[in-house]
A and B are shown apart, each in its own frame.
Chain A
């Protein structure tokens, strides 16, 4: 059964080839079938493998399938191989599952778009790359997936490339990601060479983690920080988050799939995958946690003042990613992954819902031109509302369980701290506020819809609403795989992931895994804190969320003039937040402009003059030599024979001289 793991990435690859190369010949209808069904089959295969995996005892839940040798160069040897363990299969399930529903949704959403076929080709390619990322059994293949999803993200952000803003956003995403990728690459190189010093030339996960204890703390800290820089780029954390809001230029299902549910979580996955390394470097973990929580609160505050519904969701995504990093940063890897999963459900749903709203309003994004849509598009409203409840952390929904787990770990874990908890809890309240602000502005109050648009508001077709409903169901029940013990539940997901990321019962059989156990022996458990305390913290966080909702209600339902009043009272602060703290502008001045100047200087001074001068000079010289040497070719056989004899004579003389003088 496990042997068929290669089928999982294969199906999207086939979909990509069929749609990309023969899409036009096959026609739109065939593409609509091929695109989603390729993902559906991959999803089905993942489910089969998942259940097969569940049958095994936790300590044996590991399988590697080497497809073939990829690079063999001296002592360096890498394979194309996939690995199944609880972490990778969970990621594969999330990726293929959410992708599947979003593909179906896209059939309806993109139906009128002239780039329909291209769209599905890219989307299939994305899923293929993403699966390579999560299923890879070594760093190099993971990096291929990592770059591949970056490429697809670039292509899909700039999908409507005829718009300047879209192609610029694509470029921005690509460039910012390159900064991160550079860190990732350096981290990988450092890991490779520093293990190589101990005679272990490998990038294979199992071998790397099994031998990680040979590395000293400083090296591991450097490696993990460099890898985290990569994660910052991909998962939009401070200071590299600036590309994600702009990425909303892409089609909405793309924002949902790539820029909310899957690709942006790759950084979290990577940190969780490298948990052995991170657990060895407390400093790196602290950095991850601090960056995570800072991102969470910083971008949540930006979300306060955004009027574009997708921008709100984008900042919310960044903020939620911050939570995940906070989780993995305090050593609660399973909590981070748990939140990753629930977030994929509800944030994917929120974006799809926003897409549905746009669909109803002929492409309107500005929440100031919405309102009172609750009755007109009920399915969209209810699903959107459920997702909002989930993200706000209302008890009983998935977001509550996962977020609360992170908050509790931030407080109680040996890597945690009260301040981390406090900031994260405040950010949670802010999340509740801006999300409910979005709901109220969009669906409640008075209609501010443009009269031209207003008369053909309609609910989306069924092909779009069904994925909404399914994701809404998942957003509700998705949390019940990880109900905390204190609420009388069983934290299944924690136990499921334990063999990979450590936990209450770490696996013992596998070499790499036993090391996890060692790394975890020092801590990671929430012993020492009482259940009562945990309950208290839970209540506090719920109260904070409710306060946030209450403020939103006060501001946007009860007294809609209040926000304006406040904005005028604290004009400076409002403008600062409204303009996203001018981060883009600061980057523009600090990096973009100065680099541009340097680039222009190098281009004009060094490149044009020195390099081009040299190159052109050499080219002219070689061209001249070439035309001279060409004349030797007379076409006369006797000349050719003569040259052979002369050549032979030279060799002979050389040999004779050698014989005499040596």
Chain B
């Protein structure tokens, strides 16, 4: 009789997230209905901080366990830190927003915690079942979160669309996993790679189909063309705080699983998926950027911009070298800061019953709300890739990875796309500072929590642009042993 190896310290962050999720749920149902739910947010923040401090000691240990189902290697831990930062900022911006929009459900915070748990599992899973469970834990929580504005038809529509298409994509993913299992007889990523190498299954049609299905499944989560169509509708309808969470967290988790599965389990197929991902990357960047230009709603615009950013990240995925993968980690973190910051600004410009999400609503706010407009400008410029902000360094690493692997055209197309994107990012800035207000926007309330979120995002964006070396060297150490 052999007991399965169990190391609870390895999954301490996950356990803490689960425990606090339940705590929030129960605290909610045991408290009077009418009470405000702000304290649940604080409870969740505590949970995230505790999880964070249980994540830190794991860094550098590179341990794995649970019979090869779970690992706490640098790659997973870097992403976990990113997820926890994302969840932290999301909850901060949610506290004012949820109250304003009347989301009086304690489940809101619990679901964010559960969804973060799912992301962590996706990053840490070295077994397709773990990864799949993580993905579903994350997705189901997000489906519900997207529909949290129950009175708002667009929110409900967005949740439903996301659920339908998400289930559809999950079906593909599961089918892909099944085919992989059928072909190799294993679900453990390393074992799959070993088996494929030993039996020389490079021309196995089952594996080919599996590859396609896995691409669809993960491609949906990271919003890459042509699996991106849900993004604008869902991002527009969902509560803005959740949109921010999806654009940063879900995307990062999708990339985590994509990189883990493709680089660990299917490295033999690299020539095959490299060429496909090249195409997807270019299509994603181009479609995202070009369609973003003609958007009139800022949330939709940011949705297309997030598609474009997935394309940039895929550039590094195609390059697939050390700089590329560490560049992806760097990019995901920088993107988290700037995108969360931008969505925080979007939230702060709205008030109850008046969301002000039209791009023209931004006209003239530069002088009325100078700090808000200045922060928004910083985030947009960072996304456009203007030095000295985090987005610039992220792009530098990603494109230089492509150049190093001699994907010159990919890098050129990426830079050209980047140039196109400057247009729609700058348009908002121009509106803010050089146009007369189109209509009166008054009485905005800046809750202290969201201001804190804004400050964290600003610091993060500037820090990663001015002193990229620290984060990059952390990222470089993190990917040791992944490839």
Contacts and interface: CB of A to CB of B under 8 A. Distances in A.
Q: Verify that A and B bind, or say they do not.
A: yes
A530 interface: no
Interface stretch (B107-115, B225-233, B246-254): B225-233
A598 interface: no
B212 A655 contact: yes
B427 to A, nearest CB: 11
B211 A655 contact: yes
Most buried by A among B212, B227, B470: B212
Contact of A648 (B203, B216, B294, B396): B216
A648 B219 CA distance: 10
Chain B contact patch, size range = 35 or more
B218 interface: no
Nearest to B287: A629
A639 B233 CA distance: 13
Given A69-B473, A629-B287, A641 B168 contact: yes
Contact of A622 (B165, B209, B290): B290
Interface of B is mostly: helix
Nearest to A635: B233
Interface string B460-479: 00000001111011000000
Nearest to B292: A626
Contact of B294 (A70, A626, A656): A626
Interface string B290-302: 1111110000000
B351 interface: no
A652 interface: yes
A637 B165 contact: yes
The secondary structure that dominates the A interface is helix
B146 to A, nearest CB: 14
Contacts of B347: none
Nearest to B295: A630
Nearest to B232: A633
A69 B466 CA distance: 11
Contact of A68 (B161, B203, B470): B470
A637 B161 contact: yes
A68 B469 contact: yes
Interface string B206-246: 00110111011001100001110110110000000000000
A625 B470 CA distance: 41
B294 A644 contact: no
A100 B227 CA distance: 64
A18 B169 CA distance: 54
Residue among B230, B293, B472 facing the most chain A CB atoms (10 A cut-off):
B293
Contacts of A622: 290, 293, 420
A593 interface: no
B203 A630 contact: no
Contacts of B205: 656, 659
A646 interface: yes
Nearest to A619: B423
Contacts, number: 98
B165 A641 contact: yes
A639 B216 contact: no
A25 to B, nearest CB: 14
B213 to A, nearest CB: 7
A522 interface: no
Contacts of A639: 229
Contacts of A518: none
B172 interface: yes
Interface residues of A, number: 33
Contacts of B405: none
A643 interface: yes
A632 B226 CA distance: 11
A72 interface: yes
Given A70-B469, A637-B164, A648-B216, A656 B208 contact: yes
A627 interface: yes
Contact of B469 (A71, A626, A633, A655): A71
Nearest to B224: A647
B67 interface: no
A633 B168 CA distance: 18
A652 B470 contact: no
Nearest to A629: B291
A601 interface: no
A69 B469 contact: yes
Given A655-B209, A655-B211, 18 more contacts: A69-B473, A72-B468, A72-B469, A72-B472, A73-B400, A619-B423, A622-B420, A625-B290, A629-B291, A637-B161, A637-B165, A643-B229, A644-B165, A644-B227, A647-B219, A648-B212, A652-B209, A656-B205
Interface of B: 161, 164-165, 168-169, 172, 203, 205, 208-209, 211-213, 215-216, 219-220, 225-227, 229-230, 232-233, 272, 275-276, 287, 290-295, 396, 400, 420, 423, 467-470, 472-473
The 5 closest A-B pairs by CB, nearest first: A647-B226, A640-B229, A69-B469, A626-B294, A72-B469
29 contacts: A71-B468, A72-B468, A72-B469, A73-B396, A626-B294, A627-B294, A629-B291, A632-B229, A633-B229, A637-B161, A639-B229, A640-B165, A641-B164, A641-B168, A643-B226, A643-B227, A644-B168, A644-B169, A647-B216, A647-B219, A647-B225, A648-B172, A648-B215, A648-B216, A651-B215, A654-B276, A655-B272, A656-B208, A658-B275
